[in-house]
A and B are shown apart, each in its own frame.
Chain A
Amino acid sequence: MELQTLKPGLETRELYVPEMAEITAVRRLTAMETLYTVKLPGGRDLGHRPGQFVEVSLFGVGEAPISVSSSPTRRGEFEMGIRRVGMLTEVLAGYGPGRKIGIRGPFGNGIDVEKFRGKDVLIVAGGIGLVPMRSMINYVRDNRDQFGRLIICYGSRSDTELLFTDELAAWEKDPRVEYHVTVDRGSEAWQGRTGVITTLIPGLDLDLPNTVCCICGPPVMYRFVVLTLRGKGLPDRNIYMSLERRMKCGVGKCGHCQIDSTYVCQDGPVYHLPDLAKLREAL
């Protein structure tokens, strides 16, 4: 890349003014997470890819990067699953339908769905990592004939922290979804599998060359999931990972999300594993 230089008549963009969008529905997912449905002015589509994020803006409070949880196939509104950590999400927790919030975005590269089309899709989601992955899962389900198998491995700390429980039940019933779930510690009511997310992988029967995987979860999870997938024989080139972290301005200016020579908010949050291997501080 050459250094960009100032040229006369250059078109610039207003990067920091959010658009006001209305919260149309609020659904409590767990004690910590809430799903917000948001409508842009005139019901305009956000125009995002699965895996992208928006900057949510509350005046007087600030901005925070939030991943989009709904599929682009859902028109007129979009959804964000938000965990209460930090000031903005704390204030947002007090907001109900009818309130307006600022939105900038969508930002980031998102998942290149073309790399998955015609292939078996393996989604590995840990904890809140299911929020952005749900966008991809629902995209695949809404375009079911364009993809091969849809295999979902979902891990959570406990069954009380499972997100989108009604949808999980629907995936479980759907004959065209292979849904596997495990929790680190189950409550007394939990009858499913117990153990960390990597324990779901060895048992999978994968058509390796034809399977493309996307992983999203807490930082500690990535390394172990990748090791297990490699052990299974899945080539690195078939693995993508979404690093949902550190973004601030969303437009590649503020420097916060820089990992080596890339900006997570521009070149990520979804990385191809062979590229990620070169980035020392990524994992």
Chain B
Amino acid sequence: MAQHFLEQAKADDFVAHLMKRHPVLAPHRRGRRSFAFEQIVEPSAVVLDYPRTLGSVKKFFLPARETLLEFDLGTNTATAPAIAPAPAVYLGVHSYDLAAVRRLDHNFLHGNPERNYVTRREGALFIGVSYTPDRHHFAGSVGIDPYDTTGSDIFLTKHPEGWIVDVLTPAGQDLLKGFKLATDARPKPKREHFTQHIYVPQARLNEIMAASYNHPVWDEASRNCTGCGTCNLVCPTCYCFDVQDQVAITVDAGHRERTWDGCMLRSFTEVAGGEVFRHKVAARQRHRVHRKFKYLSDATGQPWCVGCGRCTAYCTAGISIVEIVNRLVRDAEREEQVTA
């Protein structure tokens, strides 16, 4: 569809225009050197040129904590709280996080489409933004380019003087109504390169993963792993959750709450009676990586890792998913050479 240009000087006006239409959620500074999606109050607080946010937009569709039921212990009855549709503009989303939303969509749609997720997700409009890969991004290795517009209603490509605006859907077109953008076409900047790579395509990775079950890398990579679950919790495609009942101090009511869970946590595979199925951290590490590159891709044909680099960037022990995968690739290829 149409292409326009947004000058840097008009960026705040553009945000203010969007805010007249819908609540707008965009990256803001958080802490000393991090970023997080928040609802915009002040357009100038938005940061469109950022490496990655702490969490992805997942938190808006699958909140970190969510009430599934409210119950009354006096009458022994429960109701599900009404979930209001949440039309909103998600501004400044990177292509890998949009790819992650498509994967979450799949999980919450297939089989039993879940009302909670779908209700929140339905009103979402996305304005994607290009980014410059840093030392942790490797989205290119899973087929997601920094300029990939898939899933965006509007896409902003960084340009020295502002942003090239691609309008991609009728909903995107509609969002721009009443805001004047320059129409001069400008050449898109040169593509930027990733510094992190996984060295084989997904199809090959499936085979390598299948043969990696007893590989020493799981133990080696887990040496300093505390099983803290950070890699799961910051992952934009991790959707696992736990459910617990919380009771009010008056002991007459309460709510059933779901919270994000993670397969790196010891309690994840604990069942009634106390047995833990994946007891060793290394087994959990293998499960996590296999889930990203094998188990879910076996089922859907898509890698469940989108190359955002969060799990590696935020691991205090410095465990790198790219290094784990490339180690498996290297060893598999070496073995092939030997047998050849």
Interface bits A235-255 vs B (CB < 8 Å: 1, else 0): 000000000011011011111
Tell whether A166 is near chain B: CB-to-CB under 8 Å: no
CA distance A31 to B263 in the complex (A): 34
* B299 CB contacts on chain A under 8 angstroms: 1, 261-262
Given contacts A61-B245, A62-B244, A253-B107, contact A1 B300 (CB under 8 A): yes
Tell whether B302 is near chain A: CB-to-CB under 8 Å: yes
In the bound complex, do residue A6 and residue B243 qualify as a contact, i.e. CB atoms below 8 Å apart? no
- Shortest beta-carbon distance, A5 to chain B, in Å? 6
In the bound complex, do residue A14 and residue B80 qualify as a contact, i.e. CB atoms below 8 Å apart? yes
Residue of A nearest to B113 (CB): A12
* A246 CB contacts on chain B under 8 angstroms: 269, 271, 277
- Shortest beta-carbon distance, B144 to chain A, in Å? 14
* B244 CB contacts on chain A under 8 angstroms: 62
Tell whether B203 is near chain A: CB-to-CB under 8 Å: no
Partner of B239, one of A251, A255, A266: A255
Partner of B243, one of A102, A254, A266: A254
* A3 CB contacts on chain B under 8 angstroms: 102-103, 105-106, 300-302
CA distance A10 to B32 in the complex (A): 42
Binds A, one of B44-52, B70-78, B217-225: B70-78
* A62 CB contacts on chain B under 8 angstroms: 243-245, 256
CA distance A46 to B111 in the complex (A): 20
Tell whether B40 is near chain A: CB-to-CB under 8 Å: no
**Total A-B Cβ pairs within 8 A:** 142
CA distance A10 to B109 in the complex (A): 9
Most buried by B among A6, A64, A261: A6
In the bound complex, do residue A5 and residue B109 qualify as a contact, i.e. CB atoms below 8 Å apart? yes
Tell whether B115 is near chain A: CB-to-CB under 8 Å: yes
Given contacts A1-B299, A13-B113, contact A86 B79 (CB under 8 A): no
Tell whether B315 is near chain A: CB-to-CB under 8 Å: no
Binds A, one of B10-18, B117-125, B133-141, B193-201: B117-125
CA distance A93 to B213 in the complex (A): 41
* B256 CB contacts on chain A under 8 angstroms: 16, 59, 62
* B118 CB contacts on chain A under 8 angstroms: 6, 10, 12
Tell whether B38 is near chain A: CB-to-CB under 8 Å: no
CA distance A261 to B241 in the complex (A): 18
Interface residues, chain A, CB within 8 Å of chain B? 1-6, 8, 10-18, 20, 59-64, 85-89, 100, 102, 245-246, 248-249, 251-256, 258, 260-262, 266, 280-281
Q: Which 10 residue pairs spanning A and B have beta carbons closest together?
A: A86-B272, A255-B240, A59-B71, A85-B273, A4-B109, A261-B298, A12-B115, A261-B299, A3-B106, A12-B113
20 other A-B residue contacts (CB within 8 Å) besides A10-B113, A246-B277: A3-B103, A3-B106, A4-B106, A6-B109, A6-B118, A13-B113, A15-B114, A16-B116, A16-B243, A16-B256, A17-B78, A17-B79, A20-B76, A62-B256, A89-B272, A252-B110, A253-B107, A255-B239, A256-B268, A266-B111
